[in-house]
Chain A
Amino acid sequence: MSSRSFRSVFMVASCAGAALSCYLVSLRVASERAALEDVESKIVVAQRDMRVLQTEIGTRGRLSQLERWNAGAFALSAPAADQILKGSFELAQLAQPERKLDFQAPVVLASAPAPEPQKELDVEQTNASVSAAPSSPRALLHEASLKTETREDLAQTAAILPVAAARSTDKPAIAAKLAKSKSVGKPGLAAAQPMKKPVELANRTAKKPGEKSPAIMLQTTRRPAKTAGAGEGAAMRKAPVKKSVDKPIIAAAKPVTKPVRLAKVDPLAPLPAKHSGNSKGTATER
């Protein structure tokens, strides 16, 4: 009964509600659209501002102004034809690489001729051992121990030498053989004599490191080892240097300090292996 009498009211209310919700949707759409238009108009205003700024920059930096600065203030001119390169190849040609020593590549330098090979043949045999010594820290230790034995007998020297040589070069058999066979021959004065020369040589090589690569230096001192093996007195004199029997301590001390310097130059080079190869060569030659 009641629902029947209120039906018209419900109808009106639902109609009004539907109309209202429709209206709300449309209002919502309208407000979204208005917001969109606001953004659009902001974009347009920003575009206009950008244009104004671009125009100002363009006017201030106009080409005639730049030309005035270029020609007048900076004195710049257009590049000449030979200043324009076609590609990376021409560019690379321009850049001359700076010559740098490559310690890792001793193979190439090993074939370089020695500067003074003939004169000091006898001396350099000693150098061979001297330079061989610095190749490893262990060898250095060994040199120091040698100095303490300076007062020993010649006979003893001959007996000890093979051990020393074997230790210093890390290569026992051949060097030991060499020392045994040759070193016994001459004692005393002759043994003392060459003491100065290794020092000289060490000085010389140390003085001009700029000219010679360390690798070459090592090579020059090492190389005679091949040839010196042939000479009679060379191996024999090697022993006195190490032992420095008759000389005062000062003279004996010198060769010990010099190799230390050489050793500083290249402690990392793969010399021991190389050296052993060399001395192996000498061994076969002999």
Chain B
Amino acid sequence: MNAPSPALVAPRPERLRLVGQRRQLLALMHQRLMFAMLVYAGIVAIIALRLLYLAAFGDHAGRKEELTAFVPERGDVVDRDGVPLARTIDAWTISIHPNKVIGDKLELAQKLARLMPEHSAEQYFALLRSGKTFFYLRRRASPELVEAVNAIGEPGLAIDREPDRLYPQTTLAAHVLGFTNIDGRGGAGVERAFDAYLSNAQTRGQPLVLSISSKIQQALEAELGAAMQHFSAIGAAGVVMDVHTGEVLAMTSMPAFNPNAPGQGTPDQMFNRATLGVFELGSTFKPFTLAMAMDSGIVSGPGKMYNCPEVLPAYGHLIHDTHPFGRQCSVAEIMMESSNIGMAQIADQLGTERQKSWLKKMGFLDRVEIELKEKGRPLTPGARWGPFETMTIGFGQGIAVAPLQLAMGYATLFDGGVYHPPTILKIGPGHPLAAGRRVFTADTSYRMRSLLRLVVMRGTGRKADAPGYRIGGKTGTAQKLIDGHYSKTINLTSFAGVFPMDDPRYVIVVMLDEPKATPETYGFTTAGWNVAPVVSRTVSRIAPMLGVSPDMNREPNMAEVLPFVQEAKKQDSSKD
């Protein structure tokens, strides 16, 4: 009991103060410790949770990105049947890093010159010693060359795979497809017009489906190319179009370039005569004038008579015919024999204003409506468009349009008079048929059938006939304007045909630029002799592919026009 109870022993004041401080200190340290521990625990917990999350939902180390479907670097372009026309492939590229070369540079230069003889050994040596860091030696190298270069074993040589644009059909439809430049951007044609679609990662997985049919394109190119060579023409163009939809099934311009090596093409080869080039296509315009006159009520029918003298004086000029009638002739005869004098009178009755409004409605005064960027602006008399110009435009002189535009005009005329803008894309789910607009009445469209069939059966286009396929059409021989004057000898011949004429489905327009006379044409350079046979041969080839079956017993209603044709005398098809 001698031990003092704590309560009885009063601590010394300083000691008391010390205890209080210690306690405070301890509490603070506990607090801090606790805080640090919580921080560590939190970090550990975060790491642990993250690990758990990764273990449960994370990707494994070997995971590849987005490889569930093959997406090319640039979208494919295919024809309407799915035949690839443009593709991106992985091509071998051989390049060199001159700084990294460790072997004998002279020896290397000699080896390179032996393998790739486009440069000499001296050039390769100079290149190696130039001090630059990187050179391309060859793009799109063949596997054999790559193997040989690899066998040199020089670490400075780099062999890589790079995406490269390949056009498997080479020159086929070159002007439609266009080309890509070295950076893989479209330089012309579809490649340029649809560059965004083809390079967009969202859309490039799906190929771009064109309305072109490669088989028809090939037939057209082969026949037209043969004719161009045979008649020593400087150029040619051809279009095949679906009358009802405006789809371009084939479109070619010659001479063509190889889109695989666009740099080697000459400007003449790169020029798209079918859409960018505008030409005075001559008498192929006459059906339009006649249709305008019929729709305007000027020409009541194929039996209307006009006075067709040997020479027609008009507004201070003289209008000639190659083979003048020198008598009264019917509209059917004017079409059949392609009379300028008769058609000029019809155009004169039509008048300038009405002609302009019709041409505007048909789309002949604007650039052709197609997706391609290469589109030529039609040439018209402009401010000089007076009554005489109206007459000349009536028979196809004085207005220059693209061949595609001419095909479009015929498609309008024979699709019951309804205009559909031409398109290079296949009409289908992703690209519905654009709404058409009526230009001519259906009756006019119907009556033109027998008139154009008459031209091929009896008139200037006899050589265009393909038995059984009921081609109707119109020849056109235009004199070329050289140094401001119409040349007497240099022509531009064209033929615009429609088949089968009893129920028009396809339009074909072919054009030869400056064809020369040959012995079998008896010195003529008119359309009936050089382009008309191309149409006949091409249609014989493509019509079965297009599902047009030959039938000798079907014709449009020729009884509408034949009564108005005087004696069917034997004619040569030398007129335009």
Residues on A lying within 8 angstroms of B by beta carbon are 22-23, 26-27, 30-31, 33-34, 37, 40-41, 44, 47-48, 51-52, 54-55, 58-59, 62-64, 67, 71, 78-82, 84, 86
- Residues on B with C-beta less than 8 A from A63 are 169, 172, 214-215, 218
B552: contacting residue among A23, A34, A67, A81, CB under 8 A? A81
Q: Which secondary structure characterizes the binding site on chain B?
A: loop
A230 CB, min distance to chain B CBs, angstroms:
59
Chosen A-B contacts, 22 in total, with CB atoms closer than 8 Å, are A23-B55, A23-B56, A27-B55, A40-B67, A44-B68, A51-B87, A52-B89, A55-B89, A55-B168, A58-B83, A58-B84, A63-B215, A63-B218, A64-B172, A67-B222, A79-B544, A81-B467, A81-B469, A81-B550, A81-B552, A82-B467, A82-B468
If A78-B540, A84-B544 touch, whether A59 touches B168 (CB-CB below 8 Å) is yes
Q: Is A55 touching B87 in the complex (CB atoms < 8 A)? A: yes
- Residues on A with C-beta less than 8 A from B552 are 81-82
A33 CB, min distance to chain B CBs, angstroms:
8
5 closest cross-chain pairs (CB), A and B: A81-B468, A81-B550, A63-B218, A78-B541, A59-B168
How many A-B residue pairs lie within 8 Å, measured between CB atoms? 89
Q: Is A84 touching B549 in the complex (CB atoms < 8 A)? A: yes
- Residues on A with C-beta less than 8 A from B540 are 78, 80-81
- Residues on A with C-beta less than 8 A from B69 are 44
A131 CB, min distance to chain B CBs, angstroms:
54
When chains A and B are docked, how far (Å) is the Cα of A51 from the Cα of B90?
11
If A63-B169, A63-B214, A81-B468 touch, whether A37 touches B84 (CB-CB below 8 Å) is no
In the complex, whether B62 has a CB less than 8 A from a CB of chain A is: yes
Residue among A41, A64, A78, A86 facing the most chain B CB atoms (10 A cut-off):
A78
When chains A and B are docked, how far (Å) is the Cα of A234 from the Cα of B83?
85
A64: contacting residue among B87, B171, B544, B550, CB under 8 A? B171
If A37-B64, A64-B218 touch, whether A51 touches B168 (CB-CB below 8 Å) is no
Q: Is B60 touching A30 in the complex (CB atoms < 8 A)? A: yes
Q: Is A26 touching B89 in the complex (CB atoms < 8 A)? A: no
Q: Is A64 touching B549 in the complex (CB atoms < 8 A)? A: no
A276 CB, min distance to chain B CBs, angstroms:
55
B56 and chain A: residue at smallest CB distance? A26
Q: Is A62 touching B55 in the complex (CB atoms < 8 A)? A: no
- Residues on A with C-beta less than 8 A from B219 are 78
- Residues on B with C-beta less than 8 A from A40 are 67-68
- Residues on B with C-beta less than 8 A from A84 are 468, 544, 549-550
- Residues on B with C-beta less than 8 A from A52 are 89-90
A7 CB, min distance to chain B CBs, angstroms:
24
A25 and chain B: residue at smallest CB distance? B56
Q: Is A64 touching B84 in the complex (CB atoms < 8 A)? A: no
When chains A and B are docked, how far (Å) is the Cα of A30 from the Cα of B59?
8
When chains A and B are docked, how far (Å) is the Cα of A27 from the Cα of B541?
64
A226 CB, min distance to chain B CBs, angstroms:
53
A27 and chain B: residue at smallest CB distance? B55
B60 and chain A: residue at smallest CB distance? A34
In the complex, whether B487 has a CB less than 8 A from a CB of chain A is: no
Within 8 A of A (CB), among B48-85: 55-58, 60, 62-64, 67-70, 83-84
In the complex, whether B24 has a CB less than 8 A from a CB of chain A is: no
B540 and chain A: residue at smallest CB distance? A78
Q: Is A67 touching B218 in the complex (CB atoms < 8 A)? A: yes
In the complex, whether B270 has a CB less than 8 A from a CB of chain A is: no
If A63-B214, A81-B466 touch, whether A34 touches B67 (CB-CB below 8 Å) is no
When chains A and B are docked, how far (Å) is the Cα of A55 from the Cα of B219?
22
In the complex, whether B425 has a CB less than 8 A from a CB of chain A is: no
In the complex, whether B166 has a CB less than 8 A from a CB of chain A is: yes
Q: Is A62 touching B172 in the complex (CB atoms < 8 A)? A: yes
- Residues on A with C-beta less than 8 A from B215 are 63
Q: Is B468 touching A64 in the complex (CB atoms < 8 A)? A: no
If A55-B89, A81-B467 touch, whether A64 touches B170 (CB-CB below 8 Å) is yes
B466 and chain A: residue at smallest CB distance? A81
Interface string of B549-565 (1 = CB under 8 A from A): 11110000000000000
Q: Is A55 touching B222 in the complex (CB atoms < 8 A)? A: no
- Residues on A with C-beta less than 8 A from B58 are 30
When chains A and B are docked, how far (Å) is the Cα of A80 from the Cα of B218?
18
B64: contacting residue among A33, A41, A59, CB under 8 A? A41
Residue among B215, B219, B222 facing the most chain A CB atoms (10 A cut-off):
B222
Within 8 A of A (CB), among B12-57: 55-57
Q: Is A58 touching B466 in the complex (CB atoms < 8 A)? A: no
When chains A and B are docked, how far (Å) is the Cα of A64 from the Cα of B67?
36
Residue among B56, B60, B84, B168 facing the most chain A CB atoms (10 A cut-off):
B168
- Residues on A with C-beta less than 8 A from B222 are 64, 67, 71
